[in-house]
Structure 1
Amino acid sequence: MLIATQPVMPVDNTPITLAPRPNLTRTPAPSHQPTPHGHGLRAPTAEQQMAIDAVARGDKVTLMACAGAGKTFTMLAIVDRLSREAIGKRILILAYSSWLKTDTRKRAAAACGGRPYLPLAVFGCH
């Protein structure tokens, strides 16, 4: 997972080529242990926690990773944390499709435990 914690720059359509990571080994997925606040989310990985902490500090974060790497989980953990700690913050989530937009909206609302004071907007691109 690539985590960028610098201000997001405008896209200039420059192709990005990522170098392969040498000596990759398969590791089992982390178990889904509930977190202390009881939302049933497993504990985040070190990389995911770095992104969660960066957003909580107010940094702009872009998560880029392959399918199944944990982007959605990280987003839900960010929504959960901000809904508990950052009253007055706003969250914008962009989803690729209408179906994903609907699914993401439901999952994000569940992640914030029904706390109504969190401004949350989910939009689809297609």
Structure 2
Amino acid sequence: MFGDGIGSAAIISVFVFLLTYVLIVDERVHRAVAAMFGAAIVVLLHIVPWDKLLEYLDFGTIFLLMGMMIIVNTARNSGLFEFIAIKTAKAARGSPILVMILFCLVTAVTSAFLDNVTTVLLLTPMLLTITRLM
């Protein structure tokens, strides 16, 4: 019915992925809870064996993201993003085009020194704050 090579495990995996994605987008459940739910279902249904689960995890990436999220949360709570947003809006004299150009320059310089994930984690809250202020 589904063609050669596609088994029930693949179909269930796609279903669990889509269900998890819907839960994340819907935002009724915290995205971490939704992701853990999806992972637990795949493991409980033996689609991914428990002993192989740890092989699929890249702890370096997980700890990098966790550390960056802590830094971003601390910066947000300290008001750093609001400060930068106000300075950027003043430098751009309220012009959305100038804000975009300045933000592109900041993004280019930041991504030259940091990897892309870190750059996105640092600059997205700033951009959201700038757009709220304008």
**TM-score, normalised via structure 2 length:** 0.25
Higher relative contact order (CA closer than 8 Å, sequence separation 6+): 1
**TM-score, normalised via structure 1 length:** 0.26
Give the structure with higher Rg (CA).
Answer: 2
**Per residue, is there more strand in 1 or in 2?**
1
